Structure 1
Amino acid sequence: MSMIVQKFGGTSVGSASNIKRMASRVIEEKNRGNDVVVVVSAMGNTTDTLTRLASEVSTQPQKREMDMLLSTGEQVTIALLSMALQEKGSESISFTGGQAGIHTDSVHGNANIKTIDPKPILQELDAGKIVVVAGFQGVTDEGYISTLGRGGSDTTAAALAAQLGAERCDIYTDVDGVYTSDPRYIKKAAKISSLTYDDMLNLASRGAGVLHPRSVKHAKKHGIPMVVRSSLTRERGTFINHSSKRSDRYPVIGIVFQEERTSITLHGCGGSEVQYAIRSALTPRNIECDFFKSTQESELTLLLQHRDLQESLELISEKKEQLKFDRLTAKKDLAKVAVIGSNILTHPVIQGKAARELAASGIDFKLIEDSPVSVTAAVKQQDVHRAAELLHTAFGLDVPEMRTVVAIQ
């Protein structure tokens, strides 16, 4: 008997009828003779609704209380899915993240999983039950509920698959695989049949929203194959593991983008030492940032998620004496777009081509510092979809014959 971990996203379980349909998919896997652990997200837009409610009662909700609030979304789903499974004749039990043995650090709102005690899950699997686990959440050493940040249910699923030694981790979503760009906005985006962990990690960490980067890291570390597939159709998805080999004949894999970015500029300072000090201040809070290519020695600009702006300003200001900057300014309504590939630095023509294409179309941009796997630019929020579509075309990803080069056979 093998073990399969299945994860269903918010759209997959967005209604009672969807939950019933997903229950049938779970039972299909169980009937193949496999043990099944299911990880679910909150229904539909529940997390956004709860966030809005919090903003109506508090101008700056405490992160601990936000975790208490947001974690209820997944708890609704696990109970309903377990009920649906039982209604269809399958024994099932639901667990919150803490009940499933998931222990995290204390960074509320963006916690990392530290350890997983698999005993509660294994006991129920041994009893023949399907185990349904709330994604996106765990418990701190103090016993407080914590959440893993956006996309955290992917991380829960991959971490459980790794800890349980699963044969495979299936990620069910509203698209039928990983594409060369977001097919909701880039109409000529093509599905990629398979990817290495590294290629998937490069896509996910720079904007491909179909998988959270932490989930790919867990899968890679423990060699757990992942499959991204549709919960709405029976289409073959995208297979992710160590052994897939992508053609090196064309280095570009895809075009990704991230919205709702804000820049912070430190005036009167610069240099690698300052960058290191800033990262040292932000990393313990699990805040990720990019640095712009420096145009002035006396200025340093970083780009981060808008939701992290206030906390980042506070953390950087606490180090003002060490960083020796004169003042801070922030600019909102930004986004970033990236050309993703492998060994980008060995193909300098890629960066030049990306810059020329954006400039020729009148898109205002600033390049992010070099990466071995990407060329990234900050653009205005209003331009990000146009920039992504432009680069997708420019690098040949919407030409049919090129798709066979980008995709892994």
Structure 2
Amino acid sequence: MSIIVQKFGGTSVGSASNIKRMASRVIEEKNRGNDVVAVVSAMGDTTDTLTTLAKDMSSQPAKREMDMLLSTGEQVTIALLAMALQEKGAAAISFTGGQAGILTDSVHGNAKIKRIDPEPIMKELGKGKVVVVAGFQGVTEEGCISTLGRGGSDTTAAALAARLGAERCDIFTDVDGVYTSDPRYIKNAAKISSLTFDDMLNLAARGAGVLHPRSVKHAKKYGIPMVVRSSLTKEKGTFINVSSKRSDRYPVIGIVFQQDRTSIALCGMPECKEAKSAITSLLQTRNIECDFFKELPGSELMFLLHQNDVNDVLELIQDKKDQLKFDQVTTQVDLAKVAVIGSNIRTHPVIQGKAAKVLTGGGIEYRLAEDSPVSVTAVVKRCDMHNAAELLHTAFGLDIPEMRKIAAIR
């Protein structure tokens, strides 16, 4: 038998009827003769509701206790899905992340998986059961519950698929695949039928919310194909593997964007290059990523990060003020980033110039992030994000009929 890992996101399991529908999808795969491991997220807006409750208790809840609280969302879903499967005649058992053998580091709120013991899951698969695993969570060496941060259920699914030697990892979501941009906001976005791991990683790392970058890294490292597909229809999704049908004639793959960004500027620094390296190392201790701005005065260093990470980062850099040697810290909120994603962007220098010209022509204020081999990233005001993305999507030909046809056959 082959092992298939299926991951169901929050909207896919957002109600009792949806959970029953997903149970049928699991059984369909089981009836094809495969062993199935189902990884689930919390139902709908459960995580947001729990976060609000925590803030009612404390202005700055302890991260360990937040992990204890937020992990309960997935535990509700695994029990309900296991019950639905059993009701439909399938043998099933639910596991928390810890019960599934997922061991993480101790960075509460944004932990990374260190290793997975496959024995608990393999034992139950050997009995013919569907194993339902709570995504987004694991346990530390000390036995504390930990959570994996944004996109954690994707990461759980891909990591389990890799460790179990799965044939593939299916990601069920509320869209039917990966698009040239977010189809909810960009009306002419086209679905892409296939992508390489590298292309998907570039899209995910810079804002395509359909998959988390860590999940793609796991799949790429162990060669586990992924399929992004709809939980509502039976349409073919986007197949992610080592190779794809994408034409190299078109260097731009898509336009992605992320909101809820805040910039931090350190002013009066004698040596920005050394400070940049020090800040990168500091952020890595909390598994936090950032984008550095380009073309700044020699004494100023500015970087962009998710607004949820700001307090942690300010605390880190204040503790290292003597080492970093800055005079002043300023922040700017309500920002977003919009990125043009492609292959070998540096070999097509016209792309950056064209992006700048389009944004300027559209009356959009922007600052560029540092150069990347695979992207041109502009930081804009939150209110300009969708307009900027739409302008770039059109400018790079992603919504013309010829390009839409090419995207569809990739």
TM-superposition CA deviations, 1:147-190 (whole Å, max 9, x none): 00111000000000000000010000000000000111111100
- Residue 295 (structure 1) shift: 2.3
Counterpart check, 1:26 vs 2:26: yes
1:345 is matched by which residue type in structure 2? R
2:93 is matched by which residue type in structure 1? I
Aligned pair count reads 409
Do the aligned residues in 2 keep the contact of 1:244 with 1:408 (CA within 8 Å)? no
TM-superposition CA deviations, 1:242-289 (whole Å, max 9, x none): 022421101000000010000000001153211101001111100101
Do the aligned residues in 2 keep the contact of 1:246 with 1:407 (CA within 8 Å)? no
Once the two structures are superposed, the pairs formed by residues 61-210 of structure 1 within 5 Å of their partners are 61-210=61-210
Counterpart check, 1:252 vs 2:252: yes
1:128 aligned counterpart, secondary structure:
coil
Q: Which residue of 1 aligns with 2:299?
A: 298
TM-superposition CA deviations, 1:77-106 (whole Å, max 9, x none): 000000000000000000000000000000
Do the aligned residues in 2 keep the contact of 1:257 with 1:335 (CA within 8 Å)? yes
TM-superposition CA deviations, 1:351-403 (whole Å, max 9, x none): 00000110111101000000000000100011101101110011000111112
Distance 1:407 1:242 in 2: 18
Distance 2:86 2:317 in 1: 52
Distance 1:291 1:243 in 2: 31
- Residue 318 (structure 1) shift: 1.3
Q: Indicate the percent of aligned positions where both proteins have the same amino acid.
A: 78
2:181 aligned counterpart, secondary structure:
coil
Once the two structures are superposed, the pairs formed by residues 228-239 of structure 1 within 5 Å of their partners are 228-239=228-239
2:341 aligned counterpart, secondary structure:
strand
Do the aligned residues in 1 keep the contact of 2:268 with 2:326 (CA within 8 Å)? yes
Do the aligned residues in 1 keep the contact of 2:190 with 2:407 (CA within 8 Å)? no
Q: Which residue of 2 aligns with 1:370?
A: 371
Q: Which residue of 1 aligns with 2:220?
A: 220
Do the aligned residues in 1 keep the contact of 2:193 with 2:407 (CA within 8 Å)? no
Counterpart check, 1:316 vs 2:355: no
Distance 1:225 1:281 in 2: 34
Do the aligned residues in 2 keep the contact of 1:219 with 1:226 (CA within 8 Å)? yes
Distance 1:280 1:151 in 2: 23
- Unmatched segments (≥5 aa) in structure 2: none
Distance 2:169 2:31 in 1: 17
1:24 is matched by which residue type in structure 2? S
Distance 1:208 1:161 in 2: 22
Distance 1:259 1:227 in 2: 26
TM-score, with normalisation over the residues of structure 1? Answer: 0.99
Do the aligned residues in 1 keep the contact of 2:191 with 2:407 (CA within 8 Å)? no
2:395 is matched by which residue type in structure 1? A
Distance 2:363 2:174 in 1: 33
- Residue 299 (structure 1) shift: 0.7
1:285 aligned counterpart, secondary structure:
coil
Do the aligned residues in 2 keep the contact of 1:294 with 1:300 (CA within 8 Å)? no
2:279 is matched by which residue type in structure 1? I
Do the aligned residues in 2 keep the contact of 1:247 with 1:408 (CA within 8 Å)? no
- Residue 294 (structure 1) shift: 2.7
Do the aligned residues in 2 keep the contact of 1:71 with 1:147 (CA within 8 Å)? yes
Q: Which moved more, 1:306-315 or 1:289-298?
A: 289-298
1:334 aligned counterpart, secondary structure:
strand
Do the aligned residues in 2 keep the contact of 1:195 with 1:408 (CA within 8 Å)? no
- Residue 408 (structure 1) shift: 5.0
- Residue 407 (structure 1) shift: 4.8
Q: Which residue of 1 aligns with 2:15?
A: 15
2:10 is matched by which residue type in structure 1? G
Do the aligned residues in 1 keep the contact of 2:200 with 2:216 (CA within 8 Å)? yes
Distance 1:405 1:346 in 2: 22
2:383 aligned counterpart, secondary structure:
helix
Do the aligned residues in 2 keep the contact of 1:8 with 1:40 (CA within 8 Å)? yes
Distance 1:285 1:151 in 2: 16
In structure 2, do the counterparts of structure 1 residues 245 and 271 end up closer, same or farther at CA, with 3 Å as the change threshold?
Answer: farther
TM-superposition CA deviations, 1:31-59 (whole Å, max 9, x none): 00000000000000000010011111110
- Output the aligned Cα RMSD: 0.8
Q: Which residue of 1 aligns with 2:43?
A: 43
1:367 is matched by which residue type in structure 2? L
Q: Which residue of 2 aligns with 1:356?
A: 357
Q: Which residue of 1 aligns with 2:398?
A: 397
Distance 2:393 2:323 in 1: 42
Spell out structure 1 runs of 4+ moving beyond 6 A: none
